[in-house]
Amino acid sequence: MSVKFPDLNLDKQLCFSLYAASRQVTRLYQPLLKRHDLTYPQYIVLLILWQTDGVMVKDIGHQSQLKSNTLTPLLKRLEQNGLVSRKRAKEDERQCYVFLTDKGKALENECACIPMEMMGQTDMSLDKLMQLKSLLDEFLQLQEKHGG
Amino acid sequence: MSVKFPDLNLDKQLCFSLYAASRQVTRLYQPLLKRHDLTYPQYIVLLILWQTDGVMVKDIGHQSQLKSNTLTPLLKRLEQNGLVSRKRAKEDERQCYVFLTDKGKALENECACIPMEMMGQTDMSLDKLMQLKSLLDEFLQLQEKHGG
DNA sequence: TAGATTTAAATCGTGTGCGATTTAAATGGT
DNA sequence: ACCATTTAAATCGCACACGATTTAAATCTA
């Protein structure tokens, strides 16, 4: 058994590491984001909007890999906090466009220091972080190809 | 700015990739675990118990990096499903030991095929998966050292 | 053009995650 | 022995995630 499948345990361990690392990163972000009354998933959505303002919920979903059942309540919270506004598209009433408010746009500058602060907390070389990202992206791409 | 911090965006993107990859892996596990009425975090806890039966909640917490506020309800669900039993330690009533039931022990064999099935779904070389795990573990270790 | 199908969000229910607090048991210092 | 402190679980509240379903709008088709 251990000859035929020498690394049968690897995937357990890999998934375990991935799971723990992801939550650890979220924990690292939390104190930085709390200053701006943001959660980590809210920050992810804002990163998407700061890149391109006025995006459909569907497209935010595609970029973040989150569905409307997660995004709708999250976006409502961002709206309640005055960071975004949601408008139905006139040409297709099913679609909902999300726009940054002035406050939401201003927040981008206030959050500008976060990436730097995070980098400082990782203690890993830039080279290894890039390697890590590259491997994760390869995994995600293979998944997108295979899983639709 | 871009000279001094050439990859300021890397960490945004890396965290994003990590976040997406972790959830993708959970999604891959779900259909396999559903057959046994398990969630992914429940499976993680069972992996720990299959390795060593009769562990304190505290130790499960240390291995899984989950606290009692997550573990207590999760363990109660496992108990309700007849997979584990929880007993207070006689020598220290604060401590709670978790034991596998016969059903819980039997489940290990039923889940034996899961790692193999998962490996088949990743489409990545063993070499790269090991690289990935190595980088994630290095990150986690640095965090444990730094963050306590 | 009426009815079936597809599509985009929203809604619902369950199970995490986690900060903060609480409860109760053990321990430590005086 | 007494009381403050520490420790291990449990509890509470909030915000995700996600499968499944629903709602409503657009589109396709006979």
Does A130 lie in the same domain as A104?
Answer: no
Q: Which domain holds residue A19?
A: 1-35
User: What stretch of H or E contains A81?
Assistant: none
Does A66 lie in the same domain as A51?
Answer: yes
Chain A residues within an 8 Å CB radius of B128: 135, 138
Does A44 lie in the same domain as A105?
Answer: yes
Contacts with B, A 63-92, CB within 8 Å: 64-65
Q: What's the confidence (pLDDT) of residue A145?
A: 75
The whole-number Å distance from A74's CA to D26's C1' is 26
Q: Give pLDDT tens digits along chain A (148 positions).
A: 333 344 446 666 888 999 999 999 999 999 999 999 999 999 999 999 999 999 999 999 999 999 999 999 999 999 999 999 999 999 999 999 999 999 999 999 999 999 888 888 888 998 999 999 999 999 999 988 766 5
d(CA B8, CA B74): 38
> Domain holding A69: CATH number?
1.10.10.10
User: What stretch of H or E contains B84?
Assistant: strand B84-88
d(CA B59, CA B67): 10
Q: How many domains does chain A have?
A: 3
Mutate to test the interface with B, among A38, A51, A143 (most CBs of B within 10 A): A143
d(CA B97, CA B45): 13
Strand C interface, protein residues by Cβ within 7 Å: A 23, 26-27, 30, 56-58, 61, 67-69, 71-73, 75, 86, 92, 94-96; B 26, 39-42, 65-70, 73-74, 77, 91-94
Does A106 lie in the same domain as A51?
Answer: yes
Considering all CA atoms of chain A, what is the largest pairwise distance in Å, rounded to the nearest integer? 63
Q: Are B46 and A39 in contact (CB under 8 A)?
A: no
The whole-number Å distance from B91's CA to D18's C1' is 42
Identify the CA nearest to A125 among candidates B148, B135, B9, B4: B135
Q: What's the confidence (pLDDT) of residue B145?
A: 75
Does B63 lie in the same domain as B43?
Answer: yes
At A6, list the tokens: 């020498």
The residue whose two tokens read 């890039």 is: A130
Does A98 lie in the same domain as A133?
Answer: no
Q: Are B44 and A20 in contact (CB under 8 A)?
A: no
d(CA B19, CA A21): 9
Does B98 lie in the same domain as B62?
Answer: yes
Does B61 lie in the same domain as B82?
Answer: yes
Q: Are B75 and B98 in contact (CB under 8 A)?
A: yes
Classify residue A99 by its DSSP letter: E
Does B143 lie in the same domain as B90?
Answer: no
pLDDT in tens, B93-110: 999 999 999 999 999 999
Judged by DSSP in three states, A120 sits in: helix
The string of DSSP letters for B38-77 reads --HHHHHHHHHHHHSSSEEHHHHHHHHT--HHHHHHHHHH
- Laid out side by side, the sheet with B55-56 consists of B55-56, B96-100, B84-88
Does A117 lie in the same domain as A88?
Answer: no
User: What stretch of H or E contains A126?
Assistant: helix A126-147
Q: What is the mean pLDDT of each run of 10 residues along chain B (148 residues)?
A: 46 85 95 96 96 97 96 98 97 97 97 89 90 95 76
The residue whose two tokens read 């961002």 is: A78
Does B125 lie in the same domain as B76?
Answer: no
Angle at B46 between CA B65 and CA B34, to 5 degrees: 110
Identify the CA nearest to A146 among candidates B18, B121, B47, B119: B121
Does B53 lie in the same domain as B17?
Answer: no
